[in-house]
Amino acid sequence: MENIIVAKFGGSSLADAHQFEKVKNIIENNIQRKYIIPSAPGKRHSKDYKITDLLYLCSTHVQQGISFDDVFKIISDRYKEITTELSKKYEHMSSLDITKYLVKIKDDIENGSSPDYTASRGEYLNGIILANLLNYSFIDASELIFFDKYGRLNAEYTQKSILEKLSSVKNAVIPGFYGSDPSGNIKTFSRGGSDITGALIARGANANLYENWTDVSGFLMADPRIIKDPMPIESITYRELRELSYMGATVLHEDSVFPVREAGIPINIKNTNSPNDQGTLIVGDTNPIHKDGNITGIAGKKDFTVIAIEKNLMNTELGFCRKLLSILESNNVVFESMPAGIDTVSLVIPDSQLDDKLDTIIDEINRQCKPDSLEILPSMALIATVGRGMSKSKGIAAKVFEALGKNNVNIRMINQGSSEINIIVGVENNDFEKAINSIYNAFL
């Protein structure tokens, strides 16, 4: 059977005509790259706009009754520039009339199209352009990716549809980020969701490899916006990847792991701007680690509030934690984690969940749980140090704590997940960058 590669290209890989050319060259370099998933045009430089952000802006303008003409013009101009530039080089591109599509989309937005539909047009238009450039078929994601009436992915039907539809096409471009609901309306994944589309297509098409092309040479040991030139990670397991991406290493959407992991399809993260770099290979969870005593990566997130609760004999009080969690539930608050000791328990809650509910929650905890003490730690950051070798090699935790202590970072909370592949520390937001630097330097 022939080998199939599904290749997803992120926003920066398709931000302008020059990037489209790089993508074309990469695809044409290997005929196994049969199914291509484009994102919407991303930033060309740090001060630039992402097309998806602008499309959401159009949607809010319409909702508030404000004209969206100016915003839409920036979007139109970007696509027109891409197609005009490509036509100069590739004659067959001059027959593509992108204005026709733009007019229709503007019309739809004016007539009150849903935010999901509006946002999805970034990927849709890039898909049309790329399919024309490559001479590949264009298959709309709304015919392949399906959600149920609750907005959840209908994985089974999606997989069946992909297999059925793709078996008769030699090669195709399928836009990322969206699918359709049972009424046929467009529904998007959460932000960064083109990675999920790519994983689903790889799974459905029984691909041998899922390539995820972006603007870095693979998964790096830490966020390159915090650490200068961090070491690339050669191979990482699905579980480590999920821990790191959940904790803020946003290279790959955390939900894109499941479809390919189940089918044992490896993911290769590659750099469109440096295609010969090896990138990072994401492999099965049992793969051995080559460097004993080392870690795989560090990631973190800011802006949490920790509610630390102490009560003597808490461990013997039946239903204590249930009461605590039902207070969060009745206030509609989702928590991040709940590290606990014998007489202590902490609730770690993202600030985005709390709004102005903190006072009510504290009142209710005091009233219903009667703690001996309750402390609130605002403006906290969580940092995860992840490594599959962690459970077998001694001293990794000690090294993390020593590095933080030496650099005067106050550790306010410690949590070792039961997965035993990560250690999470809570530090103040102000210490976030310093803490990541300290841990990184300790392991290199």
**To the nearest whole angstrom, how small is the minimum distance from the Cβ of residue 441 to ligand ADP?**
16
Site string for ligand ASP, 25-64 (x = CB under 6 A): --------------xx---------x-x------------
d(CA 179, CA 18) in angstroms, rounded, equals 28
Strands ordered across the beta sheet of 344-350: 344-350, 297-310, 373-386, 422-428, 413-416
Alpha helices in 64-180 (DSSP H): 69-89, 98-110, 115-134, 155-166
Tokens of 343: 């007489």
Q: Please give the residue whose beta carbon sits closest to ligand ADP in the complex.
A: 10
250 binds ligand ADP (CB under 6 A): yes
- Integer Cα distance of 22 and 268 in angstroms: 18
Q: Which residues pair with 282 in a beta bridge?
A: 236, 267
Phi-psi domain of 50 (left: phi exceeds 0; alpha: psi -120 through 50; beta: other): beta
For residue 301, the cross-strand partners are: 382
Q: Check if the beta carbon of residue 326 is closer than 8 Å to that of residue 368.
A: no
Find the binder of Mg ion among 38, 175, 192, 204 (CB under 5 A): 192
CB of 194 vs ligand ASP, minimal distance in Å = 3
Q: Out of 149, 225, 290, 367, which residue is the one contacting ligand ADP (CB under 6 A)?
A: 225
Q: Measured from the CB atom, is 46 or 373 closer to ligand ASP?
A: 46
Nearest approach, Cβ of residue 30 and ligand ASP (Å):
23
Residue 438 is a binding residue for ligand ASP (CB under 6 A): no
Task: Rule CB under 6 A: choose which of 193, 339, 371, 387 binds ligand ASP.
Answer: 193
Q: Please report which helix (H) or strand (E) contains residue 21, including its range.
A: helix 17-28
Alpha-carbon distance of 157 to 149, in angstroms, equals 13
Stretch that binds ligand ASP, among 186-194, 259-267, 309-317, 387-395 (CB under 6 A): 186-194
- Which of ligand ASP, Mg ion, ligand ADP, none sits in contact with 83, Cβ below 5 to 8 A by type? none
Q: Select the residue interacting with ligand ADP from 10, 41, 266, 300 (CB under 6 A).
A: 10
List 27, 38, 39, 443, residue binding ligand ADP (CB under 6 A): 39
Choose from ligand ASP, Mg ion, ligand ADP, none: what does 223 bind? Cβ within 5-8 Å by kind: ligand ADP
Report helix angle 51-63 to 98-110, nearest 10.
30
**Neighbour count for residue 290 (Cβ, 10 Å):** 9
The residue type found at 298 is I
198 binds Mg ion (CB under 5 A): no
Scanning 4-12, 79-87, 108-116, 129-137 for contacts with ligand ADP by CB under 6 A, the matching segment is: 4-12
- Of 403, 376, 354, 295, the closest CA to residue 411 belongs to 403
By beta-carbon proximity to ligand ASP, the closer residue of 19 and 194 is 194
CB of 192 or CB of 339, closer to ligand ASP:
192
- The residue within the footprint of ligand ADP, chosen from 192, 193, 204, 266 (CB under 6 A), is 192
Which helix (H) or strand (E) covers residue 281, if one does? Answer: strand 280-283
> CA 127, CA 124: separation in Å to the nearest integer?
5
* Residues in contact with ligand ADP by the rule CB under 6 A: 10-13, 39, 42, 192, 214-216, 219-220, 222-225, 249-251, 297
The residues that touch ligand ASP, with contacts defined as CB under 6 A, are: 11, 39-40, 50, 52, 122, 176-177, 191-195
